[in-house]
Amino acid sequence: MRGLGGGSMGLLLLLSLCIGATLAASPQLQDTKFALTFHVQKDQFDQALSETTALVEHAEANKMCKNTIMLLRAARDKVAAALDDLKKRIKEEERKEALKKTQPPAPASFTDASIGVKALKSDGAKKCNIKKYPSTEIGALLEAGKIDLKKPFIVTGGVPGLEEQKALFTSDILMKNTVSQLRYLSPVKAKERRSFDQQQQQVPDDEQLEYSMVSVEKYFVNCFNHKAKPDFRKSGGADTEHCEQQVPAAYLTNSSEGFRFTTTAATLGWLQKLDQGRSEFLSRVQDLQPLVNPKVELSGSLAKGSSRYLVFGPSGSGEQLRQEGTPFVDGLVHGKRRWFLMSPKDFLNLRDKAADVLEPASAFMFFEQQLEELVEEHGLGGKKMKFWECNQNPGEVIYIPGDTIMTSLSMVDSFSHKHHVATSMSGVLAKVNSAIWAPESGQIPYGFQYASCFDGIDLNRAGETLGSNMNPMQGQIIGGIMSQYYGNHEGQNMLIINVLSECTAVFRAEGLDPAKSYCPRVWGQCVSQLESNAKKMGKGLPAWVSKDPPQPGKQEL
C-alpha cells in the first residue's frame, strides 16, 4: 500500500463504520446517509488523486463494504475529472495561441476602402432600452428561466471566437465563391414588394423571375464599390437600402459549419438538431432537379429552410418593418447595426394612429424620414406605443422573439451570423408541422404544402388526413391560388420535395420524437405522389427516395 498523507487519515476513520461489527442491541441504528465534504486545495490535486487512489485500492484489497468503496471512488473520480478538465483547457489555450501565430491579423472591417461603402453620418440610436446580459451569465439565467423570452435582449461578448470569425468572413473571402448565386432585387422591384400585408409578402417559388440571380462578385459590384473607379466611393442610403442579403449559411460557405452561439445553445439551440438531416438531403437533392421547373435552383431553394443564415450588406442597407415568425439570435461580427422593435399590439396602434406617415419603407427611409415624426406627432414611445431601440456592435448577440415587429439598419458595412431558435422539442416540431400543414397561418404555399401530396392539390384530403379541415370559403380561395402557381407537375413536385426535406431532418434528428410531428403520417403519401408525377413526366425517382421513412442517426439516405 502507498504511503498515506495526513489529509487521508480523516477518510480512513470513516472506514470503521463498516469494519467494526455491530452488536445487536436496543435501541438500534437506522440506515443513514451522510453528506461529506471533501476539500482539496488548488495546489494539492495531484497529491489528493494519489492518496484517494491508494485509499480505493486499500478498501478493495481488504474487502470493505460496498458503500465505503463507492465513497472513496467518488472522491477519487472527482479529483481525476478536475485534473482532466484542466488539461483540456490548457490544450485549447495552446491551440488558440498556435492559431494566432499562423493567421494574419483579423481585418478591422467587413470591407476595405476599395470595396466598402461610406458609413452613415448618424450615430444610430441615442439610447438603448434593450436589456443586456454578459455572456458569462446568460447560460445560467436561461437555464433557470430568469429571462423573459417574450422580450428582446442582448448578450455582450456573445459571439464566440470573434477575432477568428472576423478573419473568416470578409468581402474578399466571400467573393472567392464562384459557384453560388445570390438573389438580387433592383431598387425599383424591392420598393414594389414592400408591404405590411402578409399575403403580399409571400412569393411563390415560380416568381423567382422577379429576382436576378447574380454571382457573389456581381453582388459586390452592384451594392458596394467593387471594381469602381478609385476616386468614386458609394454613399450609404438610397443607393444601398435594398442590398441586405440573408443567405443560408451552408449554401454560401463551409466556414460557418460548426459555428454555435455557445452561451445560448443549451436552451435555445433545439432547431440546430435538424441540421444533420437537412444537410444529408441537400447533398443528394440534385437527383431530383429534373422533376422541378428548370428556373428553380433546387438546392438553393431548399437551403432556405435552414436555421442558420449569414446576413450582410453595405452601409445604409436594411429592409422594412416586419415579423420573422420564428425567434432568432443574430450575432454581429463586422460593422454596426441600429435596431427598432415593437410588440404586435403596439404596432397595430401605431398603424391606426399614423397611417398617413407609416408606410412600408426600407430601414434607411424609416429612420431618416418616419421615426422622428412618429415620435413627435403621433405618440410613438408613449404608454400604448412603446418600442425598443439599440445599437448592436461586433461581438454582441441580439435575441428577437418571433412575433416582434422589427427592422435593422447597417450603419457601416456589416456581417452577422443569424440562427433561428426554439426553446423546446415541441417548438421544433411545431415549426416543422407549420411547413407541412398549417391552414390557420394563411401562408401560401408553406402552410398548405401537404395538399400537393394528392392528385390535383387536394386541400380537403390533406385536412382530413391530419385532422385539421379548412373553412370552405378559405379552401376555395387558397385552392385557386395554389392551383394557379403549383397546378402542374413541376410546381407540385417542388412542394412535395419541401415536405420530404423537412421530414428527413426530423427523422434524422437525435432527441426529437418524429411521432409527435406530421411526418410519419405524410411521408408515404408524399413519396407515392412524387413517384406518380415523375412517371407522368417520363422520369423516375432515385433509389434513395423510398416509401420507408429515414431512420434516426447519421446514415446514407
The one-digit pLDDT tens for each residue of the chain (557 residues) are 445 554 455 555 444 545 554 444 578 888 888 888 889 999 999 999 999 999 999 999 999 998 899 899 999 999 999 999 999 999 988 888 887 777 656 556 899 877 889 999 999 999 999 999 999 999 899 989 999 999 999 999 999 999 999 999 999 999 999 988 898 999 998 888 888 875 444 444 444 447 788 999 999 999 998 888 767 788 999 999 999 999 988 788 766 666 788 777 777 877 888 888 888 898 899 999 999 998 888 887 887 777 889 999 999 999 999 999 889 999 999 999 999 999 999 999 999 999 899 999 999 999 999 999 999 999 999 988 999 999 999 999 999 999 999 999 999 999 999 999 987 888 889 889 999 999 988 888 989 999 999 998 999 999 999 988 888 888 889 999 999 989 999 999 999 999 999 999 999 988 888 999 999 999 999 999 999 999 999 999 999 999 999 987 655 44
**Residues 411 and 460 grouped into a single domain:** no
Q: How far is residue 491 from each of residues 451, 487, 555, measured CA to CA in Å?
A: 12, 6, 29
Domain tally for the chain? 3
Phi, psi of 51 (to 5 degrees): -70, -40
Based on the domain organization, do 379 and 482 belong to the same domain? no
* Listed residue (264, 354, 365, 253) closest to 310, CA to CA: 253
Place of cell 456592435: 393
Task: Look at residues 389, 420, 451 and tell me which one is the last residue of a structural domain.
Answer: 420
> Domain for residue 551, yes or no?
no
Give the integer Cα–Cα distance in Å for 368 and 238.
Answer: 11
The length of the chain is 557
527 and 489 in a common domain: yes
Q: Please say which residue of 362, 396, 420 terminates a domain.
A: 420
Count of beta carbons in the 10 Å neighbourhood of residue 98? 10
Sorted by sequence, the CB contacts under 8 Å of residue 197 that are 6+ apart come out as none
Tell me, yes or no, whether 480 and 531 share the same domain: yes
Same domain, 270 and 209: yes
Domain boundary among 368, 385, 420: 420
d(CA 411, CA 118): 9
Q: Are residues 373 and 445 in the same domain?
A: no
Rounded CA separation 333/159 (Å): 7
pTM of the model as a whole: 0.72
Q: Which domain holds residue 24?
A: 6-87
Whether 401 and 526 share a structural domain = no
Residue 402 falls inside a structural domain:
yes
* Other Cβ atoms closer than 10 A to 479: 19
Which 3 state secondary structure label does DSSP give 96? helix
- Residues 439, 403, single domain; the answer is no
408 φ, ψ (degrees, to nearest 5):
-140, 145
514, 381: one domain:
no
Q: Torsion-angle region of residue 555: left (phi > 0), alpha (psi -120 to 50) or beta?
A: beta
DSSP state of 478: H
Considering the domain architecture, whether residues 154 and 44 belong to the same structural domain is answered as no
DSSP letter for each residue of 481-537: HHHHHH-SHHHHHHHHHHHHHHHHHHHH-TT--GGGSSHHHHHHHHHHHHHHHHHHT
Pairwise CA distance, residues 164 & 170, whole Å: 11
Q: Do 218 and 192 share a structural domain?
A: yes
- Judge if the upstream peptide bond of residue 160 is cis by omega within 30 degrees of 0: no
Is 478 inside any structural domain? yes
Contact present, 530 and 493 (Cβ < 8 Å): yes
- Rounded to 10°, the helix 459-466/519-536 angle is 150
Residue 382 shares a structural domain with residue 520: no
